[in-house]
Structure 1
Amino acid sequence: MPPRQEPKAFEDLKFITEEGFNRYLTEKKGSQEKLKDNFYYILTFDGAGPRVDVFKKSNQEYLRIAYIDSNYYKVSKNLYIAILNVKPEFRGKGIGTSLYNYFEKITSQKLEVKIITGELDYWTEHEERVRFYTRLRFEVMPKEDSVRFLIEKRLK
């Protein structure tokens, strides 16, 4: 299988001081939760929906290593995953799974969500992505155009 092509470069974000990181949190109005040693999960909301960023702290630096961004449709109670991206050197270490599980838990507490959906475009149509979402209990369905997969997970 050829290596997965990236839709776009990972959006790097780095703070070299705790003060800079805290200023970012204040500006974004983000809530911070330290889930593991030196890993911080930051939840923010914009007009479209919730976003969670994962930062790793090393010495005094904070480096974004993963993020998930979404759109929330209140009428249908649908949370649409626009992108879930893990920095390449951190893939295969459970960070994507941990990020998604946190995202589902926290958004379900703050929003009324009945279904989480998304699409895997041609550049993500690889077995590893299908396995990833299947492990997270998503139904993965080929689209009619055969260029994309739909992903869908109904919450109780």
Structure 2
Amino acid sequence: MLPRQEPIAFEDLKFNTEEDFSRYLTEKKGSQEKLKDNFYYILTFDGIGPRVDVFEKSNQEYLRIAYIDSIYDKKFKNLYISILNVKPEYRNLGIGTSLYNYFEEISPQKFEVDTINGKLDPWIQHKERERFYSRLGFKLISEWDDGIIDVIQKQI
């Protein structure tokens, strides 16, 4: 099995002033909810699916430290997680779990959802991610007969 690889490089996003951050929220039509201390959830919808970003505020700067992006299928009442990514230096601090829990809590309030699922790249070893999604209550599924986990699925 190949060594673990990182997902798509983290997409940095930083605002140097509160005014810039507020303008971003207005442009994205995002709703803001304070998580704790200096962390904020930002929920946006681009017509395809909900996205939640986590920003950390330090002084007047806002830095994105995590995000989850999804695709909504109205017909099947399904949310497909296209990416869940936490900035490497913020991993193993509970931010990914908190982000996912918020995503699962807020999504059924906005959409009719029965299932949340996603894919893991089958050619990459995902033991950390498998443990992460398992702790969140996902079923880990192998689509092929090789036993490699490549699908996550959770009934809501």
TM bracket, shorter-chain basis: over 0.9
Q: Are the aligned partners of 2:39 and 2:56 in contact in 1 as well (CA < 8 Å)?
A: yes
Query: Which residue of 1 is the match for residue 60 of structure 2?
Result: 60
Q: Post-superposition shift, 1:7?
A: 3.0
**What corresponds to 2:150 in structure 1?**
149
8 A Cα contact 2:140 2:149, kept in partner:
no
In structure 1, C-alpha distance between the alignment counterparts of 2:3 and 2:63, rounded to whole Å: 25
The amino acid of 1:150's aligned partner reads V
What do the CA deviations read for 1:107-142 (whole angstroms, capped 9, x no partner)? 011111000010011465321100000000000011
3-state secondary structure, aligned to 1:106? helix
- Listed one character per residue, the Cα deviations across residues 3-62 of structure 1 (whole Å, up to 9, x for unaligned) are 631232100000010000000000000000001010000000012100000000011110
The RMSD of aligned alpha carbons is: 1.7
Gaps of 5+ in 1: none
Aligned 1:3-152 pairs, distance under 5 A:
4-122=4-122, 125-144=125-144, 146=146, 149-152=150-153
CA shift for structure 1 position 144:
1.0
Letter in 1 for 2:129: R
Structure 2 residue identity aligned to 1:77: K
How many residue pairs get matched?
155
Q: Which residue identity lines up with residue 127 of structure 2 in the other structure?
A: E
4+ runs of 1 displaced by more than 2 Å? 1-4, 122-125, 145-148
Q: How far apart are the structure 1 equivalents of 2:123 and 2:91?
A: 17
Quote the offset at 1:66 in angstroms: 0.2
TM-score, normalized by length of structure 1? 0.93
